[in-house]
Amino acid sequence: MVRNGFCLFIIAAIATACLDEPDCYQLNNHIIGIAFKKLSDSRADTVSFLSFGTLEPLQAFYGDTTLSRLFLPLNYFKDETTFFFEGTDSIRFLRLGYVSQPQFVSEACGEKFVLSNLRVLEHTFDSVRLVVDVPTEEASITQIEIFQ
């Protein structure tokens, strides 16, 4: 009985000690959701890309992909990110602007970046609509709809 009580005390002490350490993952809200829609009736559309990614820094995310929705990271060290979407017949661009503000979290975690005021600065698609102007911490919400 004393041994079980001692083991329970040790486990509780370790668990309590872990609560003092902050979770240093997913601090930045830098993910945007993009949904592709048909221009004619606003229904979900499936598009094919050979590749897509960011221009600065140049980073391709996938190759030869067919999708109707995707989630991409914004560069929180800058106030804008330009994405490219390479299809079989053309390359399209989407340039997004936002406000990126650093906030100190703790000694262990350092700082996080809070992004707000998302806006479409420029694009080469038929039509682009901003639905939500705040990026998220994880892939869950659609911020932009692209119509083709």
pTM for this entry: 0.77
Listed by start position, the domains of the chain span 26-147
**Coil, helix or strand at residue 17:** helix
Over residues 60-75, mean pLDDT: 84
Describe the strand order of the beta sheet including 127-130 as a list of residue ranges: 69-73, 31-37, 144-147, 127-130
What is the per-residue pLDDT for 67?
Answer: 85
31-42 pLDDT tens trace = 999 999 999 998
What is the secondary structure of 38-54 as a DSSP string? -TTT--B--EEEEEEEE
pLDDT in tens, 92-127: 999 999 999 988 878 888 788 889 999 999 999 999
